[in-house]
Amino acid sequence: MHIVITENDESIWEDETGVLYHFPKRYLKDLQPGSSLIYYKGRILNKDFSAGRLSDAPHYFATARIGKIYPDKRSSKGDLFATIIDFTPFKEAVLAKNENGYLEAIPESKKSNYWRYGVRVIDQATYDRIISHADLNQISEPKQIYSPDVELNDTENTLESSSEGKASTRFVTTYERDPKYRKQAIAIHGASCAACDFNFGEFYGEYAEGYIHIHHITPVSEFESPRKIDPETDLIPLCANCHSVVHRRKGKTLSISELEVLLKNTSNK
Ligand SMILES: [Zn+2]
Ligand SMILES: [Zn+2]
């Protein structure tokens, strides 16, 4: 199945281009894991967004695939999130309409409001036609493959474990700090600590809303070979305290169940 998904410059949905697509359940039937998709933007409505677009006119700007689908835990209406994988931006806009007409074939039944659909199912021929006009940037997601050589130079969310006053060791992996995986992991798991349930927003209020550390469950040394990260199974939200404790001892990362044993023992006292 092939689809076009619309991304508006201003939206009530928590979309993150190339990372997450947030949608109402009526689109669920059209968003199958693994589906190829093309990103689309309609005509510009607010010129302030011009610099962030490839064109002010309606256009396509990237390809990607749907990863997996997850319920939005905060939604009472059954909204969902799709993780986006293999995001590949176009070098230039592919205009939705050229001298021969629209690249998308508009079905008769949807003629009056076709462009209002945020998700549009297209056939293989339409997909190929749009792609044939695109110059694909071949820089798609080098970070998706784990490399032990990646330099850690961003201090945001970087913790250090220290023991007995000696030089501390950096441990936080690239994935724990990669904004893309952070956002996917928080959409999937929520922003409360998976071990002790601490929630920064609830405790400190709106100022700290959404803050959480993302912990990489599989220790880096146990990655046998480069592989794709799965934010559902590889990443977990932990509060700053729990995260510090799992990395307390050099050369040993506590599992979440080991951490839960510690928490249980202390709360029994
Ligand atoms: Zn915690
Ligand atoms: Zn960690």
> For the chain, what are the domain ranges?
2-132, 142-267
CA of 144 to the centre of ligand 1 (A): 27
The pLDDT value recorded for residue 171 is 47
User: Out of 3.30.1300, 1.10.3470, 3.10.590, 2.40.170, which CATH number does the structure's domain 2-132 have?
Assistant: 3.10.590
The pLDDT value recorded for residue 121 is 94
Low-confidence ranges of the chain (pLDDT < 50): 139-171
CA of 210 to the centre of ligand 1 (A): 14
Which tens digits make up the pLDDT trace of 32-41?
Answer: 999 999 999 9
Which is nearest to 82 in space by CA: 118, 122, 110, 123? Answer: 118
The pLDDT value recorded for residue 172 is 52
Residues within 5 Å of ion ligand 2, judged at the Cβ atom: 215
CA of 247 to the centre of ligand 2 (A): 7
CA of 249 to the centre of ligand 2 (A): 12
Helix (H, G, I), strand (E, B) or coil at 162: coil
Structure tokens at 46: 């607010």
The pLDDT value recorded for residue 151 is 30
The pLDDT value recorded for residue 152 is 32
The pLDDT value recorded for residue 222 is 58
